[in-house]
Amino acid sequence: MTAEITLTRTPQLTSLADYLAGVLRRVRALPPLDLDLTQAFGNVLAEEVRALGALPAYDQAAIDGYAARYDDLAAAALGRTVRLNVVGDLSAASWRPVRLVPGTCFAVAAGAPLPATTDVIVPLDFTDEGMASVEIRQAPKRGHGVRRAAEEIAAGAVIARPGDYVTPPLVATLAATGVSHVVVRPTPRVTVLATGDELVEAGRLSQPGQVVDVNSHAVAAAAADAGAHAYRVGICDDDPEALRGLIEDQTLRSDLIITTGGTGTGPGDILRRILGRDGSVRFTELSVFPCSTLGFGMVGSQADHVPVVCLPGDPGSALIGFEVLARPVIQVLAGAEPVFRPSVRAHLLETIASPIGLREFRPARVQERRGGGYTVQPLAGGPYTLSGLAEANGLLVLGEKVGGAPAGSTVDVLLLDRRR
């Protein structure tokens, strides 16, 4: 059993729900763009899309075989052989209109336009595969192998709606129904920088006075995973003028700036003093564990305000802060719906303690049960959140009024990655 955590909530702490509601009201989706299908892939639609044409556009063969009239196969349906004259071949490139007459058929390839009066395609393995005439030993059901015009999508039908992602199958459907351009929200450009005199580049080991920059790499990866174009600026020392200038410079090329470190009130927390001095960024103490302090605000000119999210310097707390604040902001900028991760209710496999008064986000492994539902195994949290997150595919969430949860209880879990 995990040792009980004694952290308690103070009256100054803000609930996460109230905080997010206030932040997300200030964020607006990026202005829409008209893009061709290839460029639009991965973006979120800003407008409804309707089919310009039907799918299929005309009656066509779904399989290779012989296009025939079902009435000509009556004997085969009774177990006797039927012979039909093959009067032509049709491929997907055929365009001249043709018509079946009684006692005849056409050899057709999948995708070929069908002769008028066709109501069945006889598969090749039902026949002797004859060329001038064909012997049919078995009759399929009426309509077998036939795709009728508009049976999948009618012209004018709604294909996709605002908030839908442009996926490879959607690209195919749009192209098949005559759509070549769509109006989407652009992919947010997210700039990530880490602050602190103590930081050194990755590839070295931390030692007294030097800490490897974990955050700019991890948060840039998280932003890319959230669907953004992520740009890692890297490390910025605790130089007030350099830090202010760097952030102002990034407003020209960013839709969102994410910083890590400097959110506390200690003597080395320069970022908070710089951004919080003029009120452009507000730092809020939250009832969240870990990651109790987050900053959010706007920087840049009045006409071109760019949102800024300030995350803690501890890597585990920074990644939790990204999940609870930065990721929803990216989704709003992208016009995505829903904004938040999906969640499930899961059966807890191990008794855990949680700090009263704080909403805890604990790394966890969630699995589907064979008989239905989910189980969740809590992983390392608190000061070991980073190592727990490396193994996690979910975040176990325990509310402010929950001091612990016994094994066998049902808890909420945010799904981080269903592929694992």
Residue 130, classified by CB atoms within 10 Å of its CB into exposed (0-12), middle (13-18) or buried (19+), is middle
CB neighbour list of residue 235: distance below 8 Å, 6 or more residues apart: 193, 194, 195, 196, 199, 200, 201, 213, 216
Residue 326 has pLDDT above 80, yes or no: yes
Please give the pLDDT value at position 302. 67
What average pLDDT is seen over the chain? 92
Higher pLDDT, 31 or 271: 31
The span from the CA of 221 to the CA of 156, in Å, is 40
Q: What is the pLDDT of residue 271?
A: 87
Average confidence (pLDDT) over 368-381: 94
Helix (H) or strand (E) holding 35: strand 33-36
The answer, yes or no, to whether residue 4 has pLDDT greater than 70, is: no
Q: pLDDT tens-digit profile of 151-164?
A: 999 999 999 999 99
Fold of the domain spanning 60-147: Molybdopterin biosynthesis moeA protein; domain 3 (2.170.190)
Is there a contact between 12 and 19 (Cβ–Cβ < 8 Å)? no
**Residue-wise pLDDT tens digits, 113-147:** 999 999 999 999 999 999 999 999 999 999 999 99
Amino acid at 50: R
Give the pLDDT mean for 322-334: 97
DSSP labels for 280-298?
SEEEEEBSEES--EEEEEE
The reported pTM is: 0.86
- Please determine, for residue 375, whether its predicted confidence score (pLDDT) is greater than 80: yes
Among the CATH numbers 3.40.830.10, 3.40.50.12500, 3.40.190.10, 3.40.980.10, which is that of 16-31+186-334? 3.40.980.10
Q: Averaged over 272-301, what is the pLDDT?
A: 89
Q: How confident is the model at residue 8 (pLDDT cuts 50, 70, 90)?
A: very low
CATH of span 343-415? 2.40.340.10
The β-bridge relationship of strands 288-289 and 359-368 is parallel
Q: pLDDT category, 303, cuts 50, 70, 90?
A: low
76-82: list long-range contacts, CB under 8 Å, 24+ apart: 76/136, 76/137, 76/138, 76/139, 77/139, 81/135, 81/136, 81/137, 82/135, 82/136, 82/139
Token readout for 51 is 């089919």
* pLDDT at 333 exceeding the cut of 60: yes
Where along the chain do the CATH 2.40.340.10 domains lie? 343-415
What's domain 37-55+153-185's superfamily in CATH? Answer: Molybdopterin biosynthesis moea protein, domain 2 (3.90.105.10)
Q: What DSSP designation does 18 have?
A: H
Spatial separation of the C-alpha atoms in residues 272 and 283, rounded to whole Å: 7
